[in-house]
Amino acid sequence: MSIASQPDRVIIFDTTLRDGEQSPGATLNVQEKLAIAHQLSLLGVDVIEAGFAVASPGDFQAVQSIAEQVGILGGPIICSLARAVRQDIQVAAEALKPAARPRIHTMISTSDIHLQYQLKKSRREVLAIAQEMVAYAKSFVDDVEFSPMDASRTDREFLYQVLEGAIRAGATTINIPDTVGYCTPKEMGNLIQGIQQHVPNIHQVILSIHTQNDLGLATANALAAIENGVRQVECTINGIGERAGNAALEEIVMALQVRQPYFNPYFGRAVDSDAPLTNIKTPEIYKTSSLVSQLTGILIQPNKAIVGANAFAHESGIHQDGIIKHRQTYEIMEAAAIGLPENRIVLGKHSGRNAFRTRLKELGFELNETDLNKAFNRFKEVADKKKEISDWDLEAIVRDETQIQVESGFQLEHVQVICGDCTCPTATITIVTPDGRILTDATVGTGPVDAVYQAINRLVQIPNQLIEFSVQSVTGGIDALGTVTIRLGHQEHTFSGQASDTDIVVAAAYAHINALNRLYRYLQTHQLDSVLVSG
């Protein structure tokens, strides 16, 4: 790839389904990954890292299904991660076969601390492995990305050697990972400049960056890399990922859009050029963010940049006065730019199906008849409990009623709780088991939620530990919908569940069932994997 063929924009490489899923409790099933992948395609990402195909049969199936259904002609590049190991690369290549544009992303650690304590290999060995495995990946696909893991803590001269060898072996994209979020923006700029100056064949490839957020500098470091010539950014929706997460896609994209006159010269453009710096369809950002939050069970902090509940909210009198007089006094972007309606239209119990359907379309939800009927019936139930249903409520209802369920699991049929200051909190629960049995139990707890969880656990008989319980109000008011998010622990794994209701105890019960069904499916899949391995 010559200098002339370098892109004049930023390629958005989304790793929500790979690095993002490594967030504790963010385990996704194949259907959930497919739903997110389809939405990422609508969002306009250039590359979807669909998973780590060799990790498990479930991961392989997810990568293969996304390659087949989303990686169509004209769609995004579909990528699978692979360690610099022959089996990893073989499995990745097999999973990616259905994709119109497949990419294998192979990586190996290069920092001395990783070589000494993790790989237990010499620099010479790693240099040879990197070249051999890039060439091996190239024998399966034309598009090969190489990452020297922990590049930001790697000896510079050795890093240059590894990169030069990987390019010579056939890599088409070179990704520089700040694996532990160690860099500052100035250091990142120096790192990228050093690579461009000392790797003679670097201009034959696309230069990429992957920044972790351990010091809260992921977005700043990614932007610094862009200023110094990087043309691909690896990021995730809502910034989810390992430990403190990754650079957030929405932050990178909106920074490039809002500050476009600043960034244009770095792309050889006139300051006032209005040609987009990414292919992202920004009105899809809010919908994508909400979908990822709902399916992973990872709530978005209210003060999260771009997509947080407070991102376009103003409480200070001075700020409110300024906004009323001129929006740009305290807002540097419009809510509509990310697909967030500025006017909250309220529906009520007398609203009809057509008004409901129309409003959902305006919010970006295109539902089939089955899902529409489920959501509308739920809307009517909620409307009987509260006078006004806002767009926030509608989104919570749609997420709850159309969320992708596991193929089999437990169904909650009945919840009844008795509690008070002079009464022992007692919960009566009825569930339907995966094999169709109807079971009922009643339990006393330290509080209503504890009683509900004890009763459900006695019925399902799946060992677990409640490790997190959080409640978030969807809207204001005493009759607001509340969203409950929980995380269950089982051995070294965590599983999340989420549900919304005007009754927090009922929402807690459904959230618990959702998490238990994820755990139940994991146990089933794990047992199947064990059979396959032993066979």
What digits encode the pLDDT tens for the residues 67-105? 999 999 999 999 999 999 999 999 999 999 999 999 999
pLDDT value at residue 130: 98
pLDDT value at residue 97: 98
- pLDDT, one tens digit per residue, over 410-450 is 999 999 999 988 889 999 999 999 999 999 999 999 999 99
Q: At what angle do helices 123-138 and 86-96 cross, to 10 degrees?
A: 20
Dihedrals phi, psi of 176, to nearest 5 degrees: -110, 105
Number of residues written out for the chain: 535
- Mean pLDDT over all residues of the chain? 89
**Looking at the predicted structure, is the pLDDT value of residue 251 above 70?**
yes
How far is 302 from 323, CA to CA, in rounded Å? 20
- What 3-state DSSP class applies to 53? helix
Q: How far is CA 139 from CA 52, 129, 205, 413, 523, in A?
A: 19, 15, 18, 54, 37
Options 3.40.50.150, 3.30.160.270, 3.30.70.640, 3.20.20.10; CATH for 411-534 is: 3.30.160.270
To the question of domain 7-296 being in CATH 3.20.20.70, the answer is yes
- Residue 285 β-bridge partners: none
**Given the DSSP bridges, would you call strands 493-501 and 482-490 parallel, antiparallel or unpaired?**
antiparallel
pLDDT value at residue 292: 93
Contact 390, 346 (CB under 8 A): yes
Q: 361 is written with which tokens?
A: 């379309």
Taking every pair of Cα atoms in the chain, the longest distance, rounded to a whole number of angstroms, is: 78
- pLDDT, one tens digit per residue, over 134-163 is 999 999 999 999 999 999 999 999 999 999
Q: Which of 67-81, 165-179, 318-332 has the lowest mean pLDDT?
A: 318-332
pLDDT value at residue 323: 63
**Looking at the predicted structure, is the pLDDT value of residue 531 above 60?**
no
- pLDDT level of residue 407 (50, 70, 90 thresholds): very low
Percent of the chain with pLDDT over 90: 63
How far is 315 from 297, CA to CA, in rounded Å? 28
Q: 253 is written with which tokens?
A: 């994209």
How far is 389 from 406, CA to CA, in rounded Å? 29
How far is 302 from 345, CA to CA, in rounded Å? 21
Nearest to 103 by CA among 145, 67, 60: 145
Residue 481 neighbours by CB under 8 Å, 6+ apart:
382, 386, 392, 393, 396, 397, 473, 474, 475, 500, 501, 502
Q: How far is CA 210 from CA 19, 178, 181, 295, in A?
A: 11, 6, 9, 24
Q: Which of 99-103, 167-171, 494-498 has the lowest mean pLDDT?
A: 494-498
How far is 105 from 102, CA to CA, in rounded Å? 10
How far is 159 from 57, CA to CA, in rounded Å? 34
* pTM to 2 decimal places: 0.82
**Looking at the predicted structure, is the pLDDT value of residue 39 above 60?**
yes
**Looking at the predicted structure, is the pLDDT value of residue 513 above 50?**
yes
- Residue 143 β-bridge partners: 103
Question: Half-sphere exposure of 34 toward its Cβ, with a 13 Å CA cutoff?
Answer: 16
How far is 230 from 272, CA to CA, in rounded Å? 21
H-only helix segments in 44-184: 57-69, 86-96, 112-114, 123-138, 156-168
What is the DSSP secondary structure assignment for residue 386, as one 8-state letter? Answer: S
Q: Which of 14-18, 214-218, 409-413 has the lowest mean pLDDT?
A: 409-413
Contact 99, 48 (CB under 8 A): no
